[in-house]
Structure 1
Amino acid sequence: MKIAKGPRPWPIHLFAALLLSSGLAQLISGLSRVGDYNFGGFNPITGEWLSDDALIVMLSAEFTIVCIPIVAIWLFRSRIARWLITIFVLWGAITWLMHLNARHLDLLLQLNSQYIFSITVRVITWLAVLLLFLPQSARWFAQLKEGAHAVFE
Protein backbone atom coordinates (compact mmCIF):
# COMPACT_ATOMS: atom_id res chain seq x y z
CA MET A 1 0.00 0.00 0.00
CA LYS A 2 1.20 3.47 -0.79
CA ILE A 3 1.00 6.39 1.58
CA ALA A 4 -1.55 8.94 0.39
CA LYS A 5 0.08 12.07 -0.95
CA GLY A 6 -1.21 15.58 -0.65
CA PRO A 7 -3.23 17.28 2.04
CA ARG A 8 -6.10 15.54 3.73
CA PRO A 9 -9.44 17.34 3.97
CA TRP A 10 -10.71 18.47 7.35
CA PRO A 11 -13.31 15.66 7.65
CA ILE A 12 -10.52 13.06 7.41
CA HIS A 13 -8.50 14.81 10.13
CA LEU A 14 -11.61 15.14 12.30
CA PHE A 15 -12.53 11.48 11.67
CA ALA A 16 -9.10 10.37 12.89
CA ALA A 17 -9.23 12.69 15.92
CA LEU A 18 -12.76 11.67 16.94
CA LEU A 19 -12.22 7.95 16.50
CA LEU A 20 -8.88 8.06 18.30
CA SER A 21 -10.36 10.06 21.18
CA SER A 22 -13.28 7.65 21.36
CA GLY A 23 -10.94 4.67 21.52
CA LEU A 24 -8.69 6.34 24.09
CA ALA A 25 -11.69 7.23 26.25
CA GLN A 26 -12.86 3.62 26.20
CA LEU A 27 -9.35 2.38 27.01
CA ILE A 28 -8.88 4.79 29.90
CA SER A 29 -12.35 4.09 31.25
CA GLY A 30 -11.78 0.36 31.06
CA LEU A 31 -8.33 0.49 32.62
CA SER A 32 -9.61 2.62 35.48
CA ARG A 33 -12.29 0.00 36.22
CA VAL A 34 -10.23 -3.20 35.92
CA GLY A 35 -10.33 -3.87 39.67
CA ASP A 36 -14.06 -3.10 39.88
CA TYR A 37 -16.11 -6.17 40.78
CA ASN A 38 -18.90 -5.25 38.34
CA PHE A 39 -16.54 -4.72 35.42
CA GLY A 40 -15.02 -8.21 35.19
CA GLY A 41 -15.47 -9.85 31.83
CA PHE A 42 -17.03 -13.27 31.51
CA ASN A 43 -15.58 -15.73 29.02
CA PRO A 44 -18.51 -17.76 27.65
CA ILE A 45 -16.17 -20.34 26.06
CA THR A 46 -14.48 -21.40 29.29
CA GLY A 47 -17.29 -20.37 31.63
CA GLU A 48 -14.85 -18.41 33.81
CA TRP A 49 -14.40 -14.78 34.71
CA LEU A 50 -11.43 -13.09 33.08
CA SER A 51 -8.49 -12.15 35.27
CA ASP A 52 -7.40 -8.54 35.61
CA ASP A 53 -4.46 -9.27 33.31
CA ALA A 54 -6.76 -10.75 30.68
CA LEU A 55 -9.02 -7.70 30.92
CA ILE A 56 -6.06 -5.37 30.36
CA VAL A 57 -5.00 -7.40 27.32
CA MET A 58 -8.58 -7.34 25.99
CA LEU A 59 -8.88 -3.56 26.46
CA SER A 60 -5.53 -2.99 24.76
CA ALA A 61 -6.56 -5.22 21.86
CA GLU A 62 -9.81 -3.28 21.45
CA PHE A 63 -7.89 -0.01 21.32
CA THR A 64 -5.50 -1.46 18.74
CA ILE A 65 -8.45 -2.59 16.64
CA VAL A 66 -9.83 0.97 16.74
CA CYS A 67 -6.46 2.32 15.55
CA ILE A 68 -6.27 0.06 12.48
CA PRO A 69 -8.95 1.84 10.39
CA ILE A 70 -7.59 5.21 11.46
CA VAL A 71 -4.19 4.35 10.03
CA ALA A 72 -5.66 2.67 6.95
CA ILE A 73 -7.87 5.63 6.10
CA TRP A 74 -5.77 8.59 7.20
CA LEU A 75 -2.41 7.29 6.06
CA PHE A 76 -3.23 5.03 3.10
CA ARG A 77 -6.59 6.42 1.88
CA SER A 78 -8.09 2.94 2.01
CA ARG A 79 -11.58 2.82 0.57
CA ILE A 80 -11.95 -0.76 1.78
CA ALA A 81 -11.30 0.37 5.36
CA ARG A 82 -13.84 3.15 4.87
CA TRP A 83 -16.55 0.68 3.92
CA LEU A 84 -15.56 -1.94 6.50
CA ILE A 85 -15.71 0.51 9.38
CA THR A 86 -19.03 1.79 8.04
CA ILE A 87 -20.46 -1.74 7.95
CA PHE A 88 -19.20 -2.53 11.46
CA VAL A 89 -20.53 0.72 12.92
CA LEU A 90 -23.90 0.26 11.18
CA TRP A 91 -24.12 -3.30 12.47
CA GLY A 92 -23.28 -2.11 15.98
CA ALA A 93 -25.85 0.68 15.80
CA ILE A 94 -28.57 -1.65 14.54
CA THR A 95 -27.93 -4.28 17.22
CA TRP A 96 -27.75 -1.59 19.92
CA LEU A 97 -31.07 -0.10 18.76
CA MET A 98 -32.64 -3.56 18.66
CA HIS A 99 -31.74 -4.10 22.32
CA LEU A 100 -33.01 -0.76 23.58
CA ASN A 101 -35.64 -1.17 26.22
CA ALA A 102 -37.03 0.56 29.30
CA ARG A 103 -33.87 -0.24 31.30
CA HIS A 104 -31.83 1.97 28.98
CA LEU A 105 -34.29 4.83 29.40
CA ASP A 106 -34.20 4.40 33.19
CA LEU A 107 -30.39 4.56 33.22
CA LEU A 108 -30.48 7.66 31.06
CA LEU A 109 -33.11 9.40 33.21
CA GLN A 110 -31.18 8.54 36.38
CA LEU A 111 -28.19 10.29 34.82
CA ASN A 112 -26.07 7.17 35.23
CA SER A 113 -22.63 8.55 34.39
CA GLN A 114 -21.24 5.29 33.00
CA TYR A 115 -24.24 4.82 30.73
CA ILE A 116 -24.12 8.43 29.50
CA PHE A 117 -20.39 8.00 28.85
CA SER A 118 -21.00 4.86 26.77
CA ILE A 119 -23.70 6.60 24.72
CA THR A 120 -21.44 9.62 24.19
CA VAL A 121 -18.59 7.44 22.95
CA ARG A 122 -21.00 5.60 20.65
CA VAL A 123 -22.37 8.83 19.18
CA ILE A 124 -18.86 10.23 18.66
CA THR A 125 -17.95 7.06 16.75
CA TRP A 126 -21.07 7.36 14.59
CA LEU A 127 -20.27 10.99 13.81
CA ALA A 128 -16.68 10.11 12.96
CA VAL A 129 -17.85 7.54 10.41
CA LEU A 130 -20.38 9.97 8.96
CA LEU A 131 -17.50 12.37 8.27
CA LEU A 132 -16.09 9.82 5.82
CA PHE A 133 -19.06 10.45 3.54
CA LEU A 134 -19.00 14.23 3.35
CA PRO A 135 -18.34 15.63 -0.15
CA GLN A 136 -14.76 16.66 0.74
CA SER A 137 -14.01 13.14 1.94
CA ALA A 138 -15.62 11.55 -1.11
CA ARG A 139 -13.48 13.70 -3.40
CA TRP A 140 -10.35 12.78 -1.45
CA PHE A 141 -11.11 9.06 -1.70
CA ALA A 142 -11.88 9.47 -5.42
CA GLN A 143 -8.41 10.88 -6.10
CA LEU A 144 -6.97 7.39 -6.40
CA LYS A 145 -5.55 6.93 -9.86
CA GLU A 146 -7.07 4.33 -12.16
CA GLY A 147 -4.08 1.98 -11.86
CA ALA A 148 -3.67 2.40 -8.11
CA HIS A 149 -6.26 -0.15 -7.07
CA ALA A 150 -3.71 -2.85 -6.28
CA VAL A 151 -3.44 -3.46 -2.57
CA PHE A 152 0.23 -4.41 -2.64
CA GLU A 153 2.64 -2.82 -5.06
Structure 2
Amino acid sequence: MRLARGPRPLAIRVFAAAFLAAAVMRLVRGLGDLALSEAVFAAHAPWFAWNRDWTIVTLSAEFTIALIPLVWIYLFAAPFARWLVLGFGALRLAFLDPAALAGAVLVAAAMASLLTPAAHRWFARKPAEEDGPAVFE
Protein backbone atom coordinates (compact mmCIF):
# COMPACT_ATOMS: atom_id res chain seq x y z
CA MET A 1 0.00 0.00 0.00
CA ARG A 2 1.15 3.48 -0.82
CA LEU A 3 0.35 6.65 1.03
CA ALA A 4 -2.41 8.66 -0.60
CA ARG A 5 -1.26 12.01 -1.89
CA GLY A 6 -3.06 15.30 -1.86
CA PRO A 7 -5.57 16.85 0.49
CA ARG A 8 -8.25 14.65 2.01
CA PRO A 9 -11.82 15.52 0.96
CA LEU A 10 -14.14 16.88 3.62
CA ALA A 11 -16.07 13.58 3.70
CA ILE A 12 -12.89 11.67 4.58
CA ARG A 13 -11.96 14.20 7.27
CA VAL A 14 -15.49 13.97 8.72
CA PHE A 15 -15.24 10.18 8.70
CA ALA A 16 -11.85 10.25 10.45
CA ALA A 17 -12.98 12.72 13.11
CA ALA A 18 -16.29 10.95 13.83
CA PHE A 19 -14.78 7.46 13.81
CA LEU A 20 -11.90 8.50 16.08
CA ALA A 21 -14.29 10.32 18.43
CA ALA A 22 -16.52 7.23 18.69
CA ALA A 23 -13.50 5.00 19.44
CA VAL A 24 -12.16 7.40 22.07
CA MET A 25 -15.60 7.73 23.68
CA ARG A 26 -15.94 3.95 23.94
CA LEU A 27 -12.47 3.66 25.48
CA VAL A 28 -13.05 6.49 27.97
CA ARG A 29 -16.52 5.20 28.90
CA GLY A 30 -15.13 1.69 29.39
CA LEU A 31 -12.17 2.82 31.46
CA GLY A 32 -14.38 5.21 33.43
CA ASP A 33 -16.47 2.35 34.83
CA LEU A 34 -14.26 -0.72 34.83
CA ALA A 35 -16.68 -2.72 36.96
CA LEU A 36 -19.46 -2.24 34.42
CA SER A 37 -17.11 -3.01 31.51
CA GLU A 38 -15.93 -6.15 33.26
CA ALA A 39 -19.54 -7.23 33.82
CA VAL A 40 -20.40 -6.61 30.15
CA PHE A 41 -17.40 -8.62 28.96
CA ALA A 42 -18.22 -11.38 31.45
CA ALA A 43 -21.78 -11.52 30.12
CA HIS A 44 -20.48 -11.91 26.55
CA ALA A 45 -17.69 -14.37 27.41
CA PRO A 46 -18.58 -16.08 30.70
CA TRP A 47 -16.05 -18.87 30.14
CA PHE A 48 -13.18 -16.41 30.65
CA ALA A 49 -12.02 -15.29 34.11
CA TRP A 50 -12.43 -11.53 33.70
CA ASN A 51 -10.68 -9.10 36.02
CA ARG A 52 -9.74 -5.41 35.90
CA ASP A 53 -6.47 -6.07 34.06
CA TRP A 54 -8.05 -8.14 31.28
CA THR A 55 -10.82 -5.58 30.97
CA ILE A 56 -8.29 -2.79 30.43
CA VAL A 57 -6.35 -4.91 27.94
CA THR A 58 -9.55 -5.71 26.02
CA LEU A 59 -10.69 -2.08 25.95
CA SER A 60 -7.25 -1.01 24.70
CA ALA A 61 -7.29 -3.74 22.05
CA GLU A 62 -10.75 -2.63 20.85
CA PHE A 63 -9.47 0.94 20.55
CA THR A 64 -6.38 -0.15 18.63
CA ILE A 65 -8.44 -2.34 16.30
CA ALA A 66 -10.73 0.61 15.57
CA LEU A 67 -7.70 2.65 14.49
CA ILE A 68 -6.68 0.13 11.81
CA PRO A 69 -9.44 0.88 9.26
CA LEU A 70 -9.13 4.57 10.10
CA VAL A 71 -5.48 4.48 9.03
CA TRP A 72 -6.28 2.38 5.95
CA ILE A 73 -8.86 4.91 4.81
CA TYR A 74 -7.22 8.19 5.82
CA LEU A 75 -3.62 7.43 4.92
CA PHE A 76 -3.91 4.84 2.15
CA ALA A 77 -7.38 5.39 0.61
CA ALA A 78 -7.96 1.62 0.71
CA PRO A 79 -11.39 0.90 -0.84
CA PHE A 80 -11.82 -2.44 0.96
CA ALA A 81 -11.56 -0.62 4.30
CA ARG A 82 -14.63 1.45 3.43
CA TRP A 83 -16.73 -1.71 3.05
CA LEU A 84 -15.22 -3.21 6.17
CA VAL A 85 -16.21 -0.15 8.20
CA LEU A 86 -19.66 -0.04 6.63
CA GLY A 87 -20.27 -3.73 7.34
CA PHE A 88 -19.15 -3.69 10.95
CA GLY A 89 -20.80 -0.31 11.54
CA ALA A 90 -24.11 -1.67 10.28
CA LEU A 91 -23.78 -4.64 12.64
CA ARG A 92 -23.05 -2.29 15.53
CA LEU A 93 -26.08 -0.16 14.72
CA ALA A 94 -28.26 -3.27 14.36
CA PHE A 95 -27.48 -4.29 17.94
CA LEU A 96 -27.59 -0.77 19.34
CA ASP A 97 -27.30 -0.34 23.06
CA PRO A 98 -29.30 2.78 24.04
CA ALA A 99 -26.52 3.79 26.46
CA ALA A 100 -24.14 4.04 23.52
CA LEU A 101 -26.34 6.36 21.46
CA ALA A 102 -23.75 9.15 21.11
CA GLY A 103 -21.16 6.70 19.80
CA ALA A 104 -23.73 5.19 17.45
CA VAL A 105 -24.58 8.62 16.04
CA LEU A 106 -20.88 9.23 15.39
CA VAL A 107 -20.52 5.84 13.71
CA ALA A 108 -23.57 6.58 11.55
CA ALA A 109 -22.09 9.95 10.55
CA ALA A 110 -18.77 8.29 9.76
CA MET A 111 -20.48 5.63 7.66
CA ALA A 112 -22.58 8.19 5.79
CA SER A 113 -19.50 10.25 4.94
CA LEU A 114 -17.93 7.18 3.30
CA LEU A 115 -20.79 7.02 0.81
CA THR A 116 -20.52 10.60 -0.48
CA PRO A 117 -19.33 11.42 -4.00
CA ALA A 118 -16.17 13.04 -2.61
CA ALA A 119 -15.31 9.84 -0.73
CA HIS A 120 -15.97 7.80 -3.88
CA ARG A 121 -13.52 9.98 -5.84
CA TRP A 122 -10.98 9.57 -3.03
CA PHE A 123 -11.12 5.79 -3.21
CA ALA A 124 -11.18 5.73 -7.03
CA ARG A 125 -8.16 7.98 -7.51
CA LYS A 126 -5.19 6.70 -9.46
CA PRO A 127 -1.77 6.90 -7.80
CA ALA A 128 0.66 9.27 -9.46
CA GLU A 129 3.59 7.83 -11.40
CA GLU A 130 6.05 9.02 -8.77
CA ASP A 131 4.14 6.91 -6.21
CA GLY A 132 5.42 3.76 -7.91
CA PRO A 133 8.28 1.66 -6.64
CA ALA A 134 11.75 3.07 -7.11
CA VAL A 135 13.75 1.60 -9.95
CA PHE A 136 17.37 0.82 -9.21
CA GLU A 137 19.74 0.49 -12.11
Q: TM-score, normalized by length of structure 2? A: 0.82
Which residue of structure 1 lines up, in the alignment, with residue 133 of structure 2?
none
Which residue of structure 2 lines up, in the alignment, with residue 140 of structure 1?
122
| 1:82-139 Cα deviation digits (max 9, x unpaired) | 1111111112223x26xx8xxx6xxxxxxxxxx2xx1110111111011011111111
Which residue of structure 2 lines up, in the alignment, with residue 64 of structure 1?
64
Q: What is the root-mean-square deviation of aligned Cα atoms in Å?
A: 1.9
- Of 98, 103, 111, the match for 1:121: 103
Residue 71 of structure 1 deviates from its aligned partner by 0.2
CA distance in 1, matches of 2:28, 2:92: 21
Unaligned runs of 5+ in 2: 128-137
CA distance in 2, matches of 1:76, 1:12: 12
Query: Which has the higher mean CA deviation after the structures are superposed, 70-79 or 85-94?
Result: 85-94
| 1:40-59 Cα deviation digits (max 9, x unpaired) | 2313334x3x1100000000
Which residue of structure 2 lines up, in the alignment, with residue 93 of structure 1?
93
Displaced runs of 4 or more, over 6 A: none
Looking at secondary structure, tell me which structure has more helix per residue.
Answer: 2
CA distance in 2, matches of 1:144, 1:133: 19
Give the secondary structure class of the aligned counterpart of 1:75. helix
CA distance in 1, matches of 2:59, 2:3: 29
Unaligned runs of 5+ in 1: 105-114, 146-153
Q: TM-score, normalized by length of structure 1? A: 0.74
Q: Percent identity?
A: 37
Aligned residue-pair number: 124
